[in-house]
Amino acid sequence: MKFWSKITQTLTPYIPGEQLNKTGIIKLNTNENPFPPSPKVIEKIKKCVGSQLKKYPDPESSELKNSIANFYGIETNNVFIGNGSDEVLAHAFMAFFKDKKLYFPNITYSFYPVYCKLYEINCQTIPLNKKLEIDINPYLSLDGNIIFPNPNAPTGIGMNLDAIEEILINNPNNLVVVDEAYIDFGGKSAVELTGKYKNLLIIQTFSKSRSLAGMRIGFAIGNAKLIEGLMRVKDSFNSYPLDRLAQAAGKAAIEDKDYFEYTCDEIIKNREWTMSELKIRGIDFLPSKANFIFVKLEDAENMYKKLKARKILVRYFKKTLIDGYLRISIGTKEEMEILVKNIDQIMGV
């Protein structure tokens, strides 16, 4: 269309997992948390629903920022808040990645190349190794910035902090963004390295381990100058990214550490149970530190379709190297039992 900018003409947007919120569907396709948000979150939101919604929210989300800083034992000027981690990522791409080459794994969160198109960033992918792990060797001494998720998506494979530190030490002039969307399910966060390395930015979300995908809250942690860069972009885009209820919900969620730990533990248990059941059946999968398992199947697309016909939604990526896998989110124990039962029936066991 003649009014579209050149960039708009070339965009191929990110496609999120299907959002079929019909009743009776077991939804294991977008890595949501099977547990509801903490009761304290629900209570807090209800308290905030009233006449004050006529007023603008705090543009800085200061109280939420404070609570996140307290949780991690850092300062508030090391925290940036956004409307979901996708918005935080978008701002990071604009704030830091525009002028240099950007490197990321060839198999990873498929939104990264989309941001690159939007902001005209020159990007290059680095292949995973044969085990579908991120091999850190190609990431040492690069001539550009770096982004990768830990654990990686959709493989679920985690990286230890020593490996991340080696990448940081060997790229002093490059920014390294670690996307920790799934870190709370058994991985170790690199937040503790942000004090030591000025070239490290961590991005996290409330959509997975905090059961708040429906409220759109993401954040970044890094040194104060990196946070200031993000603030500059945010304040040139939208002064008030989080509404009043999202700010309140986020604060209550991060302060309820017991509930957070309990629900993460349960999900890890369900993941381990599911992996052991798959193993018994001789079904292969990658070692997961996330709230999903990347499962290898002879005909993954067919299994995806057959599960869908049985009202179980998982994610299938029609993409070279990973089209033999299904990404299955970890639901409740009951949901995982139904999944395994249905796989058995489909495979004719």
Restricting to residues 232-271, which ones interact with its own copies according to CB under 8 A? 232-246, 249
Using the rule CB under 8 A, give the single segment among 133-141, 158-166, 220-228, 315-323 that binds its own copies. 220-228
**HEC profile of 264-283:** HHHHHHHHHHHHHHHHHCCC
Cβ 102 to its own copies, closest distance in Å? 11
Question: 123-162 mask for its own copies (x: CB under 8 A)?
Answer: ----------------------------------------
Cβ 321 to its own copies, closest distance in Å? 23
Give yes or no for residue 184 binding its own copies (CB under 8 A).
no
Q: Taking the CB of residue 141, how many other CB atoms lie within 10 A of it?
A: 12
Using the rule CB under 8 A, give the single segment among 3-11, 182-190, 309-317, 332-340 that binds its own copies. 3-11
- Indicate which single residue of 127, 143, 192, 214 sits in contact with its own copies (rule: CB under 8 A): 214
Give yes or no for residue 42 binding its own copies (CB under 8 A).
yes
Strands 101-105, 79-82: pairing kind: unpaired
Give yes or no for residue 169 binding its own copies (CB under 8 A).
no
Cβ 275 to its own copies, closest distance in Å? 23
Neighbouring C-alpha atoms within 13 Å toward the C-beta of 45: 15
Cβ 32 to its own copies, closest distance in Å? 5
Q: What is the DSSP string of 4-72?
A: S-HHHHH-----PPP----TT-EE-SS---SSPPPHHHHHHHHHH-SGGGGSPPPTT-HHHHHHHHHHH
State the amino acid at position 77 in one-letter form. Answer: N
Question: 90-129 mask for its own copies (x: CB under 8 A)?
Answer: x---xxxxxx--------------xx-xx-----------
Of the chain, the end-to-end C-alpha distance in Å amounts to: 54
- Partners of 312 in the beta sheet? 26
Q: What is the DSSP string of 183-206?
A: GGGT---GGGGTTT-TTEEEEEES
Question: 277-316 mask for its own copies (x: CB under 8 A)?
Answer: ----------------------------------------
Closest CA to 291 of 307, 270, 308, 315: 270
53 with 244: CB under 8 angstroms?
yes
- How many residues contact its own copies, by CB under 8 A? 85
Binding to its own copies, residues 43-62 (CB under 8 A) = 45-46, 49-59
CA distance 257 to 244: 22
Give yes or no for residue 11 binding its own copies (CB under 8 A).
yes
208 with 31: CB under 8 angstroms?
yes
Using the rule CB under 8 A, give the single segment among 28-36, 270-278, 285-293, 308-316 that binds its own copies. 28-36
- Which residue's CB is nearer to its own copies, number 51 or number 276? 51
- Indicate which single residue of 67, 68, 86, 290 sits in contact with its own copies (rule: CB under 8 A): 86
